[in-house]
Structure 1
Amino acid sequence: MTVAYRMATRDDATALSEIGAQTFTDTFGHLYQPEDLEIFLQNHSPANWVKELGDPAFKVRVAERGGRLVGYVKLGPPHLPFEPRGEAAELRQLYVIEEMKGQGIAHELIQWAIERSRDQGADFLYLSVFTENHRARAFYEKYDFEPEGTYAFMVGNHADEDIVMRLKL
């Protein structure tokens, strides 16, 4: 079955909510107290997705296989605690469900995010990644993202150290 790519619509809010929450929980859930994880996962609520999908400042591209969403990438305005250089875009999330990893989906999604950021006139594309997420860090480094600094990423009341990375476009 082929993977198809398209822009997300408000009709995708529930599926995006489920992918975001499930992927985060599968990857990092064991690190947190249940109450902290529950607070954090509210960020992935369908209502939040409907709001962002209706906001022209956000662009979300989805990967779909057999009518089922299997991954997505979200671009938005910079909100990380850093001083962006020049015009900046931010890669807010790039998630691929576990069973579809290693099939080129993340590559297609990151390529779209880089090109879309360039098309929007951004000089830099920023993102943040958990310091202990070595797979994701290596992935972004393949695309020439460089560390910019660290900050406290909050999951409920739990602070993790995330690395802010940037790509010169």
Structure 2
Amino acid sequence: MSAITYRQAGPDDAARLAELGRRTFIDTFGHLYAPEDLAAFLEVHSAESWREQLGDGTLSTCLAEADGAAVAYAKVGPPSLPFQPRGPSVELRQLYVLKQWHGAGVAAALMDWAIAEARTRGGEDLYLSVFIDNHRARRFYERYGFEEVGLYPFKVGNHYDDDRIMRLSLKDRT
């Protein structure tokens, strides 16, 4: 495998992130949804949507690349999930890794970046949501010390999934 480089994504990366987001979501979850529900959800991963997000000063995205190709990303920002944070908080909005890069340390590097970014933003807690049946991701988050703190109905088109809201206390981590 090629060496991975990490950098802050900018507006010029919108099309690459759109394709990466669509591809990773379809590869991981595409088989679960009716085509019309999947298509509606994937509008979130349009290049236009990404340009807006990358221009939003409240969000930050770290892009992982191998030989110039986008292979993973993580995005953090202020809490947007339907819950009441218990104090100064940041949300890990997405952590997407192409399947062929699973187990290569990319997710760990992006999680380390997300934790550092949350601290830089003054967060005492880092929140995320994860699909109840995404066991691999849930185990990964639990290894970092994330704990389940709530439920979240995640909408894909007209379909609702059961997601779990998880929290990592940054005050307890050194």
**TM-score over 0.5 (shorter chain):** yes
Q: Over residues 118-154 of structure 1, what are the superposed CA-to-partner deviations in whole Å (9 max), with x where a residue is unaligned?
A: 1111110000000000000000000000001112100
The amino acid across from 2:134 in the alignment is N
The equivalent of 1:164 in structure 2 is: 165
Whole-angstrom distance in 1 between the partners of 2:89 and 2:44: 23
CA-CA distance at 1:7 after TM superposition:
0.3
Q: Which contiguous aligned blocks of 4+ residues in structure 1 show a shift greater than 2 angstroms?
A: none
Whole-angstrom distance in 1 between the partners of 2:141 and 2:45: 23
Question: Alignment RMSD, CA only?
Answer: 0.6
Q: Secondary structure at the match of 2:56?
A: coil
Conserved 8 A contact 2:92-2:127: yes
For structure 2, the residue ranges without an aligned partner over 5 or more in a row are none
Q: Over residues 37-61 of structure 1, what are the superposed CA-to-partner deviations in whole Å (9 max), with x where a residue is unaligned?
A: 0000001110010001001100000
Whole-angstrom distance in 2 between the partners of 1:151 and 1:69: 29
Conserved 8 A contact 2:129-2:152: no
Q: Given the alignment of the two structures, is residue 89 of structure 1 paired with residue 83 of structure 2, yes or no?
A: no
Aligned residue runs from structure 1 range 123-138, under 5 A: 123-138=124-139
The equivalent of 1:43 in structure 2 is: 44
Identity among equivalent positions (%) equals: 54
Whole-angstrom distance in 2 between the partners of 1:151 and 1:123: 21
CA-CA distance at 1:76 after TM superposition:
1.2
Whole-angstrom distance in 2 between the partners of 1:118 and 1:63: 20
Whole-angstrom distance in 2 between the partners of 1:54 and 1:158: 30
The equivalent of 1:113 in structure 2 is: 114
Q: Secondary structure at the match of 2:165?
A: strand
For structure 1, the residue ranges without an aligned partner over 5 or more in a row are none
CA-CA distance at 1:2 after TM superposition:
1.0
CA-CA distance at 1:101 after TM superposition:
1.0
Whole-angstrom distance in 2 between the partners of 1:90 and 1:112: 13
Q: TM-score, normalised by structure 1?
A: 0.99
The equivalent of 2:16 in structure 1 is: 15
Q: Given the alignment of the two structures, is residue 53 of structure 1 paired with residue 39 of structure 2, yes or no?
A: no
Q: TM-score, normalised by structure 2?
A: 0.96
The amino acid across from 1:41 in the alignment is L
Q: Secondary structure at the match of 1:102?
A: coil
The amino acid across from 1:54 in the alignment is G
Q: How many pairs does the alignment contain?
A: 169
The equivalent of 1:32 in structure 2 is: 33
Conserved 8 A contact 2:77-2:92: yes
Q: Secondary structure at the match of 1:166?
A: strand
